[in-house]
Structure 1
Amino acid sequence: MATEKRRKHKGGRKPKIDPCKHRYAISLNDVDNARFLSLFEASGMDVKAHFITATLFEKPVKVVKIDKGTVDYYMRLTSFYSQFRAIGVNYNQLTKAIKSAFTERMALALLSKLEKATFQLAEINKQVIDLTKQFEERWLQK
């Protein structure tokens, strides 16, 4: 009869197939509580109950450590990359302008200067890639 009443009512949340209805309580002293909280924060989980069940049933618990220096490096690398892309856009606009606005002789002279600047940018890009590889090998954990 109780199931018939549930079927008639169509509002609200759908009932779970296997609801969690068994609860347990534990007590911790200050030292154990501090250790528990540090492990919980290191796991990166949002819910303490999920962390406890994962620990009890030996499920793998991810530990995420955020290194501020690494984050800062990648933020600066991202901004550098966006500037590099902007240079590429300007490069395309410049070549179109040179082609349409100048004579062939003058355009060749300007394009040779642009070519030298392009080689410099390519060298800088190689240095950035090498520095990033060194940084990853030295400081990032796999």
Structure 2
Amino acid sequence: MNDQNNNYKKKGGRKPKLNPSNHRYVFRLNDEENDKLLSLFEESGLSNKAKFIVSVLFSKEIKTVKIDKSVIDFYMRLTSFYSQFRAIGVNYNQVVKLLYTQFSDRKAAAFLYKLEKQTAELASLCKKIIEITENFNQQYMKKE
């Protein structure tokens, strides 16, 4: 009767792994070697040192991620500038609509002439921004 109860008894806990890592190796490093290992580990982006060491030992591909703060800062500023540029475009459309609804054709044409000059300046500014961005990409965003 006791054997029958054991068959129906539920086992708690974690399910066993299909391929457990049972073999353990220990090695020692001096300060320089340890610093190099830690810097390589940080560049790899892996979350586990053991997985990193195994991937190095068995020549698996290791991806390194280098983060350049100046590139991130430039990207953030360019993104905010782009959003401001889009806001100007929305305001431009609203101004043109108001000119035609609120003023006579002559006054609207006069104001549109002034607005057209400002638009030409914005277009030249946009070209400069694109040139600066392309130069930045060529100089600093080289793929290694």
Shorter-chain TM-score tier: 0.7 to 0.9
Which residue number in structure 2 is paired with residue 87 of structure 1? 88
Displacement after TM superposition at 1:12 (Å): 6.5
Q: State the Cα RMSD in Å.
A: 2.2
The within-5 A match list for 1:1-142 is 16-142=17-143
- DSSP-derived class of the 2:46 partner: coil
Give 1:34's aligned amino acid.
D
Q: Specify every segment of 5 or more residues in structure 1 that has no aligned partner in the other structure, as ranges.
A: none
Question: In the aligned structure 2, how far is the partner of 1:66 from the partner of 1:46?
Answer: 17
Question: In the aligned structure 2, how far is the partner of 1:16 from the partner of 1:96?
Answer: 68
Q: Specify every segment of 5 or more residues in structure 2 that has no aligned partner in the other structure, as ranges.
A: 1-6
1:49 to 1:109, Cα distance in 2 relative to 1, 3 A: same
Cα deviation digits, residues 4-34 of structure 1 (max 9, x gap): x7xx66x776654434343333222222111
Question: In the aligned structure 1, how far is the partner of 2:24 from the partner of 2:90?
Answer: 61
- DSSP-derived class of the 2:21 partner: coil
Give 1:45's aligned amino acid.
L
Question: In the aligned structure 2, how far is the partner of 1:100 from the partner of 1:25?
Answer: 81
Normalization by structure 2: what TM-score?
A: 0.82
Question: In the aligned structure 1, how far is the partner of 2:14 from the partner of 2:114?
Answer: 69
Question: In the aligned structure 1, how far is the partner of 2:20 from the partner of 2:74?
Answer: 45
- Give the structure, 1 or 2, with the largest relative contact order (CA under 8 Å, sep 6 or more): 2
Give 2:40's aligned amino acid.
L
1:110 to 1:32, Cα distance in 2 relative to 1, 3 A: same
Normalization by structure 1: what TM-score?
A: 0.83
Give 1:57's aligned amino acid.
F
- DSSP-derived class of the 1:62 partner: coil
Of all paired residues, the percent bearing the same amino acid is: 55
Displacement after TM superposition at 1:111 (Å): 1.2
Q: Pick the structure with greater CA Rg.
A: 2
Question: In the aligned structure 2, how far is the partner of 1:87 from the partner of 1:34?
Answer: 51
